[in-house]
Amino acid sequence: MKVYLGIDVGSVTTKIAALNQDDELIAHCYIPTEGKPITIIQQGLKQIKQQLPADTEISGVATTGSARYLAGVIVGADLVKNEITCHAVAALQRIPEVQTIIEIGGQDSKIIIIRDKVVTDFGMNTVCAAGTGSFLDHQALRLNMSIEDFTRQALKSDTPVRIAGRCTVFAESDMVHKQQMGHRIENIIYGLCQALVRNYLNNVGTGKEILPPIAFQGGVAFNSGIVRALEEELNTTIIVPPHHEVMGAIGAALLAHEKVVESSNGSHFKGFGISDVHYQTSSFECKSCPNLCEIAQLSINGKVLARWGGRCDLWERSLSGQQS
C-alpha cells in the first residue's frame, strides 16, 4: 500500500496524517508538542506506524507548521509548505465550494479567503493570545475545570455576560469581576467564547470579506461554544469538517502526493527508524551582518545536518559546501 504523510508541527500540538492513494485518511495522531518537537515527531511516527499495515510504503511526505523546517530535516521531507497553503488545500478537498476558512490553534489564528478555488487573501494573528485556544485553556484552568466541561457549560448559557476580550489580562480581570457580581458561571464562560470570537474577527478578520460556506478548522473547533458564537456573530452556518484538528497535516499529505506524482523521483523519507535516533539542537548568533540572525542547527553525533533561521542562505550554503 502506498501512503502519503503530512506532518504539522505547531507550538502547542503536533499532527500527523496518513493518506492512501485515493487521498483517504487512514491514520492520524494529535499530540501535545510540549516544547519538545523532535521527541514528539518521533513519538507521532511510532503511533502512525502502529496504525498502518505491515506492507505500507511511504511514497511521499510533507511538513508544515511553525517547526516545519526542523521536521522536514528529521523525516526527509519531499516538500515543506506553510500552514495557509496546507489548510486551504485540505479544505478545498473536503468542501470544494468553501469561500472562507477560519483556523484557530493553540497560539495563533488565521483566516483564509478563497474565491473560485484559489486563495486570494489571508490574515494571521501571532501576537495576542486573546484570539487563540490558549486563552480558553487558561480560563478553564483558572476555573478548575477541563476544557470539555468548559465547552459543555458554554452551551448551557441563555443570557451570556459581555466580557472585555481585547486582551487576556483585561478579560481575566473582567471575568473575576462578573463572578463577584454573582453571574452564573455558564453565562460567564459563553461570554468568554463570544469575546474570543469578537477579538478574532476584529483583528484577524479586519477588512476581510467573510462569505459562506465557512469552514472552521483547528483544535479550537472542538469547542461547540466557539462554533455557536461564530454562527451568531456571522449569522450563518459554520461547517466543522471531520478531522478538523488535523486538516493542516491532511493538506500537507495531499501536497506530498501531488509533488511525488509530478516528480516521479520517489520519496526522500528516511523511514520510521528515525524514531530511535538521538538528535541534538542548538543555536548561535550570526555576526556576518548587522541583522544578527539567530541560526538554528540540527546535529547527530556531532555532525551538523541542517541550519536555518537566517534572512539569507549564508549558513545553508556553508553547510552544503561542507557536504559536497
Query: For residue 189, with 0-12 CB atoms within 10 Å meaning exposed, 13-18 middle and 19 or more buried, which class applies?
Result: buried
> Do 30 and 65 touch, CB atoms closer than 8 A?
no
pLDDT tens per residue across all 324 residues of the chain: 899 999 999 888 999 999 999 999 999 999 998 888 899 999 999 999 999 998 899 999 999 998 898 899 899 999 999 999 999 999 999 999 999 999 988 778 899 999 999 999 999 876 565 557 777 887 788 888 888 888 898 999 888 888 876 666 677 778 778 878 888 889 988 998 898 898 889 888 889 999 999 999 998 899 999 999 999 999 999 999 999 999 999 999 999 999 988 777 788 999 999 999 888 888 899 998 988 988 888 888 888 887 877 788 787 766 544 443
> Do 88 and 101 touch, CB atoms closer than 8 A?
yes
Reported as half-sphere exposure (CB side, CA atoms, 13 A), residue 305 has a value of 18
- Residue 258 is predicted with a pLDDT of 93
Hey, which bits of 41-196 come out as E strands? 57-64, 79-80, 100-104, 109-115, 118-125
Burial call 57-95: b when 16+ CB within 10 Å, e when fewer = ebbbbbbbbbbbbbbbbbbebbbbbebbbbbbbbbbbbb
Q: Give the position of cell 523521483.
A: 265
Q: How far is CA 97 from CA 19, 61, 232, 277, in A?
A: 22, 27, 22, 43
Q: Any idea how long the chain is?
A: 324
Reduced to 3 states (helix: H, G, I; strand: E, B; else coil), residue 102 is strand
SS3 content of the chain, % helix, strand, coil (to 5): 45, 25, 35
